Structure 1
Amino acid sequence: MINTPKVAVVILNWNGVKYLKQFLPTVLASTWPGLEVVVGDNASSDDSLAFIKETHPNIRIIQNDQNYGFTGGYNRVLSQVDADYYILLNSDVEVMPGWIEPVISLMESDPLIAAAAPKILSFAQKDQFEHAGAAGGFIDTFGYPFCRGRMFYEVEHDLGQYEQSDEVFWASGASLFIKKKCWDEVGGFDEYFFAHMEEIDLCWRLKNMGYKVMYCAQSAIYHVGGGTLNAENPFKTYLNFRNNLLLLKKNLPFWRALFVIPLRFCMDLLAIARFLAEGKRKDAWAVSRAHQNFVLHLFGIRVSGYGVKDLENGKNSLSPKTHHSKRTIHNLKGMYKGSIVWSFFVKKKTRFTDLDPVDLL
């Protein structure tokens, strides 16, 4: 590249000093020239900031006055960072020295590429894809997200089956590369999401503006996963179900949303029944609360979240600001025309390669 773009890796931290100690040195070993590393802190109560100041005094720290979640935290931090490209990187991620170059090269090749993500592998099993992103994100016609290399609870080993960089529907927030001008144009994250699926909403809004989202197979990172909310947390269940409905309401054409959302409510009732059958009453209640919150949202009633004691960090910090798609061109590349639930659970198509390519837009 003749003119080297300015790149900033921005890590949003909340009480994650153990991950900073383990993985921050790998980020600092990155070979991109002039790389700026920024840690945005969501009012941590551990010794994260003391550790950074003592061991890595050259890292820029941007402190939020409270925990604004993944969405609000990043919005506030990135408004203070000047770069051509932002890399939103989870604190529980290990990177290799040359991980940035292939992704930026891919994004520089096409002005319509707004966002991208590398291959995301498991830190615990480095030959296996990681749940949050794998080899690029897709979505089905009812709004259920899935990935190449991960469909529901089935996770594949990386055997070289996804070595082709390609356009996808969404890029994982675990390692999200985005052009600053596109971040500004789309308005950043929707803070009502707080956490979970906010990157899918961001990518969908970009695609509704005619931009592309890419998977870069030539770069790989290793993600621990579940660093803030583990898979068994009912609040995570609540966020996933509520935010998935918000995705549909915000980004589908109006008449399509009128058809899809009622069907999703019915499908979610099956999830409630499954949780009850498994003795997971808190998760069943979380889905019900998600539906209640979504209905209130439709009527313009804002509530702060899941319950009085949702999340001790930032439970009342949801912003009333919601970004909606500017629909100019519907770029549906990466959408599955059928139902991934039906394909997976009924037709037993448990791998991405089992899906009929004609059903992928």
Structure 2
Amino acid sequence: MIGEALAGIGGNLQIIFPGGRIDMKKKEISISVIIPCFNAGRYIGPCLDSVLKYGLKDIEIIVINDASNDESGKILSQYDRYENVFVIENKTNLGAAKSRNLGAVKARGRYLVFLDIDTGLETDFLSIAADKFESSPKIGAMQAKLVSKDSERVESGGHFLSPFGFPYEIGVDENEKNWNEERLIFGARSAAMAIRKRVFERIGGFDENYIIYAEETDLCWRVWKLGYQIIYCPQARVRHYQKSSLNARTRYRIFFEGAKNNTANIIKNAPSKMWWMLPLHILGWGFVCLKLCFAGETKMIIWIVRGLWWDLVHLDKLIDYRRRMKINGGNHNEYERIIFGNIGTRQLISKGFNWLKNV
């Protein structure tokens, strides 16, 4: 939770103000760009330069160096000549969710723009986001059009949930020219997300128990519950230079965090009338385990079971979180209509099975 972002860190946090020029207590500004960074030295320059080319008027950039052990710190120090670019140095690795929350705690902007360090702006996402927020008080968050590294293909146009409770991305690998229509979405990717700061604070920020995976779904669910909308904004175009890939060293984390976090999302956020999703979700993980068993990947099954066991052990805390974050700010019927996307029941079920089949 954002209110706990600085708690318990003690001496593990150092804030570096470029040239000693920045006073975080100065008046509110328009946009705070928040970028977590871990061992991503080669992406820092292209990412920051893509933001800086649109100017720094009424804007600040906050980079959270999450205990990188490569050249990231040295490269970031080259940006100390910019008055509104500064770095938060984590002395221990805290993960993306907590790092984003740390940036948000220090941010002065009315609006927060979250980027991944391996992205680059190809249009003025910041001005577009500010204009959208100011044009409609109902918009609480948005996602830019996220395009793939070496093509004009969409990587993500936002996401919805399948009846099995798993998120599915829309627009994936489609020609980006066919994705120029603004639309409501259930969830936005934190690689290219903008959100009102007051909304972010009211919903508690990112859940810091989520190290990777599904933290955006959790956050966006709470945005909808507060009564705000989330939109896909195609005018804002962000290129993603390194799409996440699974390998032997990271795949187990995806299964553990995926089982833990997706299940927790349903327990924490689903309205009582949608509790039918939870047994379907568990059944879905059973199907994944069966598939892994036939593939001889029994070690991955253990990580799925550990993820589900984590939820069971912490069930009282998840239910307490649900009570504390019971937000009654808006029309629940609206987000209950949007949660699965604008497709029919048969297509929804197909989406669920396709996700399971492609794991």
Q: TM-score range by the shorter chain?
A: 0.7 to 0.9
Q: Distance in 2 between matches of 1:146 and 1:279?
A: 26
The residue aligned with 1:7 is 31
Q: Distance in 2 between matches of 1:227 and 1:15?
A: 14
The residue aligned with 1:235 is 253
Q: Distance in 2 between matches of 1:33 and 1:136?
A: 29
Q: Which of 182, 207, 217 is 2:199 aligned to?
A: 182
Q: Distance in 2 between matches of 1:327 and 1:192?
A: 24
User: Is 1:11–1:88's contact at 8 Å kept on the other side of the alignment?
Assistant: yes
- Report the aligned-residue RMSD: 2.9
Q: Which of 69, 74, 80 is 1:45 aligned to?
A: 69
Deviation larger for 98-107 or 289-298: 98-107
User: Structure 1 pair 339/268, CA: closer, same or farther in 2 (3 Å)?
Assistant: farther
Q: Distance in 2 between matches of 1:195 and 1:347?
A: 22
Residue by residue, what CA displacement relative to the aligned partner does 1:296-342 show, whole Å, maximum 9, x if unpaired? 121449xxxxxxxxxxxxxxxxxx98873413431315322747673
TM-score (norm 1): 0.80
| CA shift for structure 1 position 97 | 4.8
Residue by residue, what CA displacement relative to the aligned partner does 1:149-175 show, whole Å, maximum 9, x if unpaired? 13xxxx3232x3221111110111101
| CA shift for structure 1 position 228 | 9.0
Q: Give the partner amino acid of 2:260.
A: R
Question: Secondary structure of 1:23's match?
Answer: helix
User: Is 2:29–2:59's contact at 8 Å kept on the other side of the alignment?
Assistant: no
Question: Secondary structure of 1:191's match?
Answer: coil
| CA shift for structure 1 position 140 | 2.6
Q: Which of 333, 336, 350 is 1:343 aligned to?
A: 350
Q: Give the partner amino acid of 2:208.
A: E
Q: Distance in 2 between matches of 1:228 and 1:47?
A: 22
Question: In the comparison of the two structures, how many residue pairs are matched?
Answer: 319
Q: Give the partner amino acid of 2:37.
A: N
Q: Which of 124, 129, 138 is 2:150 aligned to?
A: 124
Deviation larger for 196-205 or 40-49: 40-49
| CA shift for structure 1 position 219 | 1.4
User: Is 1:119–1:220's contact at 8 Å kept on the other side of the alignment?
Assistant: yes
Structure 2 gap ranges (5+) = 1-27
User: Structure 1 pair 88/266, CA: closer, same or farther in 2 (3 Å)?
Assistant: same
| CA shift for structure 1 position 247 | 0.7
- 1:33 equivalent in alignment to 2:37: no
User: Is 1:123–1:222's contact at 8 Å kept on the other side of the alignment?
Assistant: yes
Question: Secondary structure of 1:62's match?
Answer: strand
Give runs of aligned pairs for residues 288-307 of structure 1, distance below 5 A.
Answer: 288-300=305-317
The residue aligned with 1:254 is 272
The residue aligned with 1:99 is 125
Deviation larger for 183-192 or 40-49: 40-49
Give runs of aligned pairs for residues 8-87 of structure 1, distance below 5 A.
Answer: 8-31=32-55, 33-58=57-82, 59-87=85-113
The residue aligned with 2:327 is 326
TM-score (norm 2): 0.80
Q: Give the partner amino acid of 1:67.
A: N
Q: Give the partner amino acid of 1:251.
A: N
Deviation larger for 139-148 or 185-194: 139-148
Q: Distance in 2 between matches of 1:16 and 1:63?
A: 14
User: Structure 1 pair 10/293, CA: closer, same or farther in 2 (3 Å)?
Assistant: same
Q: Give the partner amino acid of 1:207.
A: W
| CA shift for structure 1 position 344 | 3.7
More helix by share: 2
User: Structure 1 pair 339/52, CA: closer, same or farther in 2 (3 Å)?
Assistant: farther
User: Is 1:142–1:339's contact at 8 Å kept on the other side of the alignment?
Assistant: no
Q: Give the partner amino acid of 2:160.
A: F
Q: Distance in 1 between matches of 2:352 and 2:195?
A: 34
Give runs of aligned pairs for residues 194-209 of structure 1, distance below 5 A.
Answer: 194-209=211-226
Residue by residue, what CA displacement relative to the aligned partner does 1:61-83 show, whole Å, maximum 9, x if unpaired? 11223222111111122101111
Residue by residue, what CA displacement relative to the aligned partner does 1:172-227 show, whole Å, maximum 9, x if unpaired? 11011011111111111111122211111111011111111111011111113445
Question: Secondary structure of 1:103's match?
Answer: helix
| Percent pairwise identity | 24
User: Is 1:168–1:214's contact at 8 Å kept on the other side of the alignment?
Assistant: yes
| CA shift for structure 1 position 5 | 6.1
Structure 1 gap ranges (5+) = 302-319, 351-361
User: Is 1:170–1:203's contact at 8 Å kept on the other side of the alignment?
Assistant: yes
